[in-house]
Amino acid sequence: MLENINDLNLYYTITLRKLALKNNITFEQAKFLTNIPYDGIILTSFAKKLGIDNSTLTRNINKLIENDLIKINKSELDQRKKILKLSSLGIQMVNELEISFSKELIEIKKYLSSDDVLKIKNSLEKLNWAIDCLYND
């Protein structure tokens, strides 16, 4: 199973890197952008979600702010907390990445039956839920 997960991660990384280059951003920037929820996320939660330290987070966020892809606002509930959000340009970039990724998936679907695609989708949702439960308990 570990080998399959590693292979999927490798294919995902290759595809996202290729799509990022087409959009003139780095792989890391694409990974950051595609993991920011549209309603935003608290900075410390985002670092935890990505499994990175604060210095790596800060360095990458500064590049994304310079390119006007994200913005940081103070939380209305707690002024000490900072909320990371996609800018309108960032939303546009994520949409472009998602469209490009969907085109890649259409190519993959040529090798699978509709039933296989549905089973994979359901299995991935269950796996993500289980992992989320494990890391957020």
Q: Which residues have a Cβ under 8 Å from the Cβ of 29 and sit 6 or more positions away?
A: 20, 60, 63, 64, 67, 69
State pLDDT tens for residues 77-114. 888 888 999 999 999 999 999 998 888 888 888 899 98
pLDDT band at 137 (very low <50, low <70, confident <90, very high): low
Q: What is the DSSP string of 68-86?
A: TSEEEEE-SS-TTSEEEEE
Domains belonging to the chain, first-starting first, are 2-112 (1.10.10.10)
pLDDT for 136 beyond 80: no
Judge contact between 84 and 36, C-beta under 8 A: yes
What average pLDDT score do residues 56-63 get?
88
The mean of the pLDDT values for the chain is: 89
> Bridge partners of 130?
none
